[in-house]
């Protein structure tokens, strides 16, 4: 059983995604109906939607769109990580307004597309601190060079649960392993951080990377955080830039060869269920 904690629905008929203008292979609809048959064939039984960096004025519209999709997904779309703007003055009121929305399990503000100072700002941190009381996690989407900034943010907010997306976006194509690995080990010392094993096949710089190219980054992330603080995600459709969904699932299973059932289940679904109190679908 697999829970995919990182699905992006790209609905260009309804929403706007400014960043897609620079990523031609993805600049068209990628709907849940496109994803679902591939996910089912790969053994994925449930998924969480990850906000897709919509235009800021459409954040609430994206939430409503995912809610509507979830109602028709036979319980397979079990929640979402919604977009947010903790740097805004109105964040606290917005957070209170969405507080009763049961589909929202956590929030994300991509930090790799804004100035580094954003995550270090006092207002940003004060607003993000509200997530602890709200019972919501925060996904950290940072580049490898920004991992020290992520560490500083986590240290400032010990009562917030953080999820590090895409193993910290390592430069696999450039084989820049040593500084990334050191920062991952340092970040893993913080007990309120979970690492998401996702996205890395798109960072290898080749169309369909050999599993051995990914192994050092995969294994170090798990070794640093331990089997109780790792979750799995596809990053569909972005994963298609380095292969496809079936290929990423197959690579994951190959990389897990020799691991115990308990270890595999922890990564593939059990930790996600515990982290977000998700329903278990057989």
Residue 19 φ then ψ, to 5°: -65, -20
77-83 and 44-50: which strand pairing?
A: parallel
Tell me, yes or no, whether 153 lies in a domain. yes
Write down the pLDDT at residue 98: 87
| Dist CA 143 CA 166 (whole Å) | 9
Write down the pLDDT at residue 122: 97
Write down the pLDDT at residue 282: 58
Residue (of 16, 134, 135) closest to 65 by Cα position: 16
| Dist CA 157 CA 180 (whole Å) | 22
Tell me, yes or no, whether 67 lies in a domain. yes
Tell me, yes or no, whether 188 lies in a domain. yes
Residue (of 128, 69, 67) closest to 100 by Cα position: 67
Q: Is the pLDDT of residue 281 over 80?
A: no
The pLDDT of 252-266, averaged and rounded, is 97
The gap from C-alpha 279 to its chain's centroid, in whole angstroms, comes to 19
Per-residue model confidence as pLDDT tens digits over 48-99: 999 999 999 999 999 999 999 999 999 999 999 999 999 999 999 999 998 7
State the CB neighbour count (10 A cutoff) for residue 122.
8
Write down the pLDDT at residue 207: 86
Q: Cβ distance 69 to 80 under 8 Å?
A: no
Tell me, yes or no, whether 49 lies in a domain. yes
Tell me, yes or no, whether 10 lies in a domain. yes
Q: Cβ distance 141 to 168 under 8 Å?
A: no
Measure the CA angle with vertex 195, ends 30 and 240; round to 5°: 25
Q: Cβ distance 33 to 64 under 8 Å?
A: no
| Dist CA 72 CA 213 (whole Å) | 38
Residue that is written with structure tokens 């995919």 in the block: 4
Per-residue model confidence as pLDDT tens digits over 15-57: 999 999 999 999 999 999 999 999 999 999 999 999 999 999 9
Per-residue model confidence as pLDDT tens digits over 160-192: 999 999 999 999 999 999 999 999 999 999 999
Q: How many domains is the chain partitioned into structurally?
A: 1
Q: Cβ distance 49 to 79 under 8 Å?
A: yes
| Dist CA 38 CA 53 (whole Å) | 23
**Domain limits for position 86:** 2-276
Write down the pLDDT at residue 266: 98
Tell me, yes or no, whether 282 lies in a domain. no
Per-residue model confidence as pLDDT tens digits over 187-238: 999 999 999 999 999 999 888 899 999 999 999 999 999 999 999 999 999 9
Q: Is the pLDDT of residue 261 over 70?
A: yes
Q: Cβ distance 184 to 168 under 8 Å?
A: yes
Per-residue model confidence as pLDDT tens digits over 100-117: 778 999 999 999 999 999
Q: CATH number of the domain that 264 lies in?
A: 3.20.20.140
Measure the CA angle with vertex 242, ends 238 and 245; round to 5°: 65
Structure tokens at 244: 């496809």
Q: Name the pTM for this structure.
A: 0.96
Tell me, yes or no, whether 262 lies in a domain. yes
Tell me, yes or no, whether 167 lies in a domain. yes
State the CB neighbour count (10 A cutoff) for residue 77.
24
């Amino acid at each position: 059983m697999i829970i995919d904690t990182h699905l992006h629905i790209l609905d260009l008929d309804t929403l706007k995604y400014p960043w897609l203008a620079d990523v031609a292979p993805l600049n068209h609809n990628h709907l849940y109906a496109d994803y679902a048959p591939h996910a089912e064939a790969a053994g994925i039984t449930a998924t969480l939607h990850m906000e897709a960096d919509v235009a800021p004025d459409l954040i609430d519209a994206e939430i409503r769109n995912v809610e509507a999709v979830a109602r028709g997904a036979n319980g397979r779309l079990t929640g979402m990580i919604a977009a947010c703007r903790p740097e805004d003055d109105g964040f606290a009121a917005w957070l209170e307004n969405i507080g009763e929305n049961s589909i929202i399990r956590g929030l994300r503000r991509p930090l790799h597309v804004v100035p580094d100072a954003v995550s270090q700002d006092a207002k940003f941190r004060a607003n993000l601190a509200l997530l602890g009381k709200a019972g919501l996690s925060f996904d950290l989407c940072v580049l490898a060079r920004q991992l020290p900034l992520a560490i500083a943010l986590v240290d400032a907010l010990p009562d917030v649960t953080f999820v590090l997306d895409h193993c910290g976006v390592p430069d696999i194509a450039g084989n820049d392993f040593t500084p990334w690995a050191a920062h991952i080990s340092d970040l893993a010392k913080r007990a309120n951080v979970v690492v998401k094993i996702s996205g890395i096949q798109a960072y290898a710089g080749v169309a369909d990377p050999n599993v051995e190219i990914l192994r050092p980054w995969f294994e170090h992330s798990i070794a640093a955080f331990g089997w109780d603080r790792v979750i799995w995600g596809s990053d569909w459709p972005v994963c298609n830039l380095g292969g496809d969904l079936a290929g990423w699932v197959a690579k994951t299973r190959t990389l897990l060869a020799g691991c115990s059932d308990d270890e595999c289940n922890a990564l593939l679904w059990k930790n996600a269920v515990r982290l977000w109190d998700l329903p278990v679908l057989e």
